[in-house]
Structure 1
Amino acid sequence: MMAKEKKLEIGAINITIQPHTPDMYLKLFREVYKLKTPIKVSGDQFAIIASIHKLERGQVEPGPITGDFYRYTAIDPEAPWFDLKTGDFADGSLLDEINIPENLKPNGARFSYIFYPKEHLLFYESYYDSKTFGAMSAERFVRNLLNQPSILGKYGKIDVTHIPSKDKLNDALKMPTKEVIELIITRPNGDTLGKTQKRVMDRMNALNVETYEESYKAVQGRSIDVDINLKTMAKIAASNGKVSIKGKDSNSKPITFSTTEHPLKKKQYFDPNVQDAFSVLIELSSKLKDEIVKWFRS
C-alpha cells in the first residue's frame, strides 16, 4: 500500500550586509547562533535558531549552512491561570503545585532552513507536518535575530526582505489602471544584480543612502505606463524592500497590491517511504535559488 503523500512548502528571504563577503555571512550566522537569544515572533510566540552546521560535511568554505529554527509559546508566569472546573481564576494553592522547568516550552514546532552565503538567500520550511511558519513571522524573526544590539555594533543594519511572488508582481504591473506606484528600496548587493540594479546600489552607496523611495502618481483619469526602467526598479524594490500599487481592474473596481502580501512559496508533495523532508528541502531550495538569482540578474 502506497504511503500517503506529505507536503513540504518553503519560503525565501534575501539578507543583505553592506559591505559584505560570503565569509561575513557565515560569521554572522554563527555569532547569532552562539547568542541563543529567543526572538519574539508575535504575541506569546517566540523562535530561536537551534542549530547550525555545514550542508555537506566535506564542503569547501564558504558553502551553504543548514539547521533548525524552533518556535514555541512563552508562558508568562505572572499571568493568571483559569480553572475550567470552577469557571474562575485559579487560587494560590493550586498555583503553588505548578512547577514547569524554565527550559521547557509548550507548543514547540521545528522548521529546517538552508542558507546560501554566496547568494545571501535563506530558504526555510514554511509548512511541514501540519505546522506553519508564515512569511511575515519568518521575516520578522530573521530581521530581529540578525539585528540584535551586539550584532548591529559589528555589522551595522542588516536588511531582510522576504522574496515575493514574481508572477504576482508581474500581474500587478499589468493592472488595467495603475494610479499609484510606490517603491521602497534598501541597498542591494551588487553580486547578484544586473548592470542597472548595480548602478542603483552604487549611487545609493555614493550618497550614503540607506533607503530610497520613489512614488509615481498617474495623471487624473489615466494609468501609469510601466516602461523598462520602472519595471527594473520595481524588481529591485521587490527583492530589496517593497512595492505597492493602487489602481482599478477592468471593471473599474479599486484594487491594491503589495509585495509583502504575496510572498514567494514553493511546495512539493513527496512519498515519505521514498524521500525524506530534508532532501526535498535541499532539492527545492537549490532549484529556487537559481530561479531567484536569474530573476535578479535579468
Structure 2
Amino acid sequence: MLVTFELILKKNTDNKEFDVDRDRSFEVGVVNIRVHTRHAPEEYFALWKTLFRGKRIAIHSNTAIMIGEARSTDKDDESAPIVGSFYKFLNIDPSQTWFDIARKKKADEDDVSQISIPDYLKPNLTEVPYIFYPKKHRLYFVSKEGGSGHAAPRTIMRMLKRITEDRAVLDRFGKVDVTVVMERAKLEEIYRWKVIKRLELVIERPNPLDYEDEEVMFEYLQGLGAESEQRVWKKARDSRTLQPDAQIKMLAVIASENGKVVASGLDDKLQKISVSSDNFPMMRRGKYSPNTQTLLGALQDLVVKYFM
C-alpha cells in the first residue's frame, strides 16, 4: 500500500495541475464609477470611504457581497489608490427545506431542529482583492483565480449599484453611475461584420476628467439636463449594411465605458449574431507565484502594466 501511495503521489506531483508551487493564473475585471457632485479625486476618495463605512451587504439569490477591507496606499494623499478586498459569502435561509444527503431524502423535523447556526456566521467566504483609483474612478478586481471564480464583473456592478442606493450615499453624492467596462476589441469586431443591422448606444454622463470626447459629451448632456441618452441606428432596406462613421465610433467608445452597446446583424459567415457589452467585459489575464507574491500584489502589478 505504501509503494502504491508513493507512486500515486509521484505521478500527481509530476502533473502541473497538482503542483502547488507553480504559477497561478488570474483574471481582472474593470468597473467605471462616476459621481456628478464634484469631479475630483477627493470626491471619489470620500465616496469609497462612505461606502466602506456603511458596511452594507448586497444580496442576489443566495450570494452576498460587501466591501470588507479598504485602506489607502498613502494616508496623506486622497488621490492615492485604495486597496482591499470584497467579501463574498453564502447567505442561506435556514427556514427553507433541508436535504439529508446520507438518506437521499428531505430532512425530517427532528434533524432540522438540531441545526444551530448563529445569524452572524456565514459560510463559503471568498476574499476578492481590488484596487480603486480615485484619479481614474476605475475599480480593478480579481474576477477569477485558477479555475475558480471570485466575482464576475456584473456581480461587482450589481453590488455597487445597490449599496450606492443607500440614503446616506444619495444625500451626499446623488445618483452614482456604475458601468462594467466593455472589451474595446469587441467594437472593432462588430465593425467587421458582413452586415450590421442595428446598433444601439446608451450613454450615461461620463466623468469629464478623463478624455476630451467625454468632456464634450458630459457638457452636452449637462446642458440638456439629461443623465443619459440613447441612440439607435437601423439599416435601411436598400443598404447592404450600416457603416458607422468616425463620430459613431467615438460615441461607441464612450458608451463602452459609460453605458451600454448593443448590436445585431450577420457575422463574416453570414450567421445571425447579436451582442451586448454586458456579455463582453474587459478582462486582462496575468500570473503570479504564491510563494513570492500575494494576489493583491499581482493585481497591482497587472493594473500598472495594462491600464496606467
TM over 0.5: yes
How far, CA to CA, are the matches of 1:280 and 1:101 in structure 2?
36
Give the unaligned 5+ runs of structure 2.
1-13
How far, CA to CA, are the matches of 1:87 and 1:286 in structure 2?
51
Contact 2:70/2:84, CA 8 A, preserved across alignment: yes
How far, CA to CA, are the matches of 1:103 and 1:157 in structure 2?
31
Q: Which moved more, 1:13-22 or 1:108-117?
A: 13-22
* Aligned-partner residue type, residue 187 of structure 1: R
TM-score (norm 2): 0.88
- State which of 31, 36, 54 in structure 1 corresponds to 2:50: 31
Other-structure match for 1:265: 283
Other-structure match for 1:279: 297
- State which of 73, 78, 88 in structure 2 corresponds to 1:55: 73
TM-score (norm 1): 0.91
How far, CA to CA, are the matches of 1:201 and 1:135 in structure 2?
25
Other-structure match for 2:10: none
Contact 1:7/1:268, CA 8 A, preserved across alignment: yes
Other-structure match for 2:194: 176
How far, CA to CA, are the matches of 1:163 and 1:59 in structure 2?
30
Other-structure match for 1:141: 159
Alpha-carbon distance, 1:275 to partner: 2.9
Aligned counterparts, 1:13-162, within 5 A? 13-20=31-38, 21-40=40-59, 42-56=60-74, 60-128=77-145, 130-162=148-180
Other-structure match for 2:4: none
Superposed CA RMSD:
1.8
How far, CA to CA, are the matches of 1:11 and 1:187 in structure 2?
21
Other-structure match for 1:293: none
After superposition, the C-alpha distances for 1:34-63 in whole angstroms (9 at most, x for unaligned) are 1211101x310010111111124x552221
Q: Secondary structure of the residue that 2:69 maps to in structure 1?
A: coil
Contact 1:121/1:289, CA 8 A, preserved across alignment: no
How far, CA to CA, are the matches of 2:266 and 2:109 in structure 1?
59
After superposition, the C-alpha distances for 1:256-284 in whole angstroms (9 at most, x for unaligned) are 12111110111112222333322211111
Aligned length: 287
Contact 2:182/2:280, CA 8 A, preserved across alignment: yes
How far, CA to CA, are the matches of 2:26 and 2:188 in structure 1?
26
Contact 1:243/1:258, CA 8 A, preserved across alignment: yes
* Aligned-partner residue type, residue 174 of structure 2: G
Q: Secondary structure of the residue that 1:140 maps to in structure 2?
A: helix
Q: Secondary structure of the residue that 2:244 maps to in structure 1?
A: coil
Matched, 1:197 2:223: no
Contact 1:45/1:73, CA 8 A, preserved across alignment: yes
Contact 1:16/1:159, CA 8 A, preserved across alignment: yes
How far, CA to CA, are the matches of 2:292 and 2:230 in structure 1?
49
Alpha-carbon distance, 1:228 to partner: 0.7
Give the unaligned 5+ runs of structure 1.
291-298
Contact 2:130/2:296, CA 8 A, preserved across alignment: no
Alpha-carbon distance, 1:84 to partner: 2.6
Contact 1:16/1:120, CA 8 A, preserved across alignment: yes
* Aligned-partner residue type, residue 119 of structure 2: E
Contact 1:69/1:110, CA 8 A, preserved across alignment: yes
How far, CA to CA, are the matches of 1:100 and 1:176 in structure 2?
58
- Identity rate of aligned residues, in percent? 28
* Aligned-partner residue type, residue 106 of structure 1: P
